[in-house]
Amino acid sequence: MAGPSVLIAGCGDIGGRLATQLLPLEWTVYGLRRSVGKLPRGVLGVSGDLFDARIPDQWPEGRIDYLVYCATPTQRDEAGYRAAYIEGLQHVLGWTQRSGQRPKRVVFVSSSSVYGQQQGEWIDETSPAHATGFSGQVMREAEQVALTSGLPATVVRLTGIYGPGRSDLMNRVRQGYSVAQEPPLYGNRIHADDAAGLLAFLLQAASEGATLDDCYLGVDDAPVPLSEVVDWMRQRLGVTQWSDENSVRRAGSKRCSNARARALGWAPRYASYREGYEAMLAQEH
């Protein structure tokens, strides 16, 4: 009996990592992106543009059991976010409908930016999601497009993704980056492999008959003050000079909980920033 099939729309870094975790589990994986030559080996390429309403020529004719929408904006303004997350999702949903396909579930990859809390509060999937910035507001609208699509849908709100190719914080620390310690500025993060792993876990669970909630937070086990991460990283990188006078005091401070995903049986491979960044440092040598 053939395994389940999934179409990953916007199959970039996280989508590619997701594909490589599903393929060994006997999944048929379609990856939609402009440059299908960059897809991992074994992924069936669908050359298409999420921003173009016309159905891609290579759109699969067979059944699609699951649809994962994992887009990235090409421009970081409100128009770019609307094009990537709302219009693109509407296009893909329309393509499945016009093709007579009815996925068993849509998984929309969202962001913890939908939350506006800034005082270090603990956040879970039931917390009010009233973003103050356009990115979180647009993402919240896009979530509603998925949840009201007429198909079963799950939103996965990922926190700050780091990993190979995503070493901005390490680079800034090397350059003397400093963060105010008081009040603590809590940050939330998830390794790219764990972000993909959570998506794979949810898809596999659904395919085995588990009942999924409509929302999950993707975060490791240890939200901590950013100053703690920076201090640890200075020691590991041998950074001895920085200026506390220029320390960053940016807005936004909350602590996200992964209790719902863990209750379903998921656990991050990198439980905290220490394990994740240690793995990245080991790859540098």
Chunked into runs of 10 residues, the chain (285 residues) has average pLDDT values of 91 98 97 95 96 95 96 93 97 97 98 94 96 94 98 97 91 88 90 98 98 98 94 94 68 90 98 96 83
pLDDT, tens digit, for every residue of 139-148? 999 999 999 9
pLDDT of residue 245: 63
Kindly report the number of other CB atoms within 10 A of residue 89's CB atom: 23
CA 228 to chain CA centroid, Å, is 24
Q: What is the domain partition of the chain in residue ranges?
A: 5-163+189-220+254-269
- Rounded to whole angstroms, the Cα distance separating 255 from 185 reads 10
DSSP state of 153: E
CATH topology of domain 5-163+189-220+254-269: Rossmann fold (3.40.50)
Q: Residues 208, 138: contact at Cβ < 8 Å? A: no
What was the pLDDT predicted at 261? Answer: 98
- Identify the pLDDT of residue 284: 78
Among 67, 55, 49, CA closest to 105:
67
pTM over 0.85: yes
Rg from Cα positions in the chain: 19
Nearest-CA neighbor of 19 among 33, 35, 40?
Answer: 40
pLDDT of residue 182: 82
Q: What local confidence, expressed as pLDDT, does residue 110 receive?
A: 98
Per-residue pLDDT of 139-172, as tens digits, reads 999 999 999 999 999 999 999 999 998 988 999 8
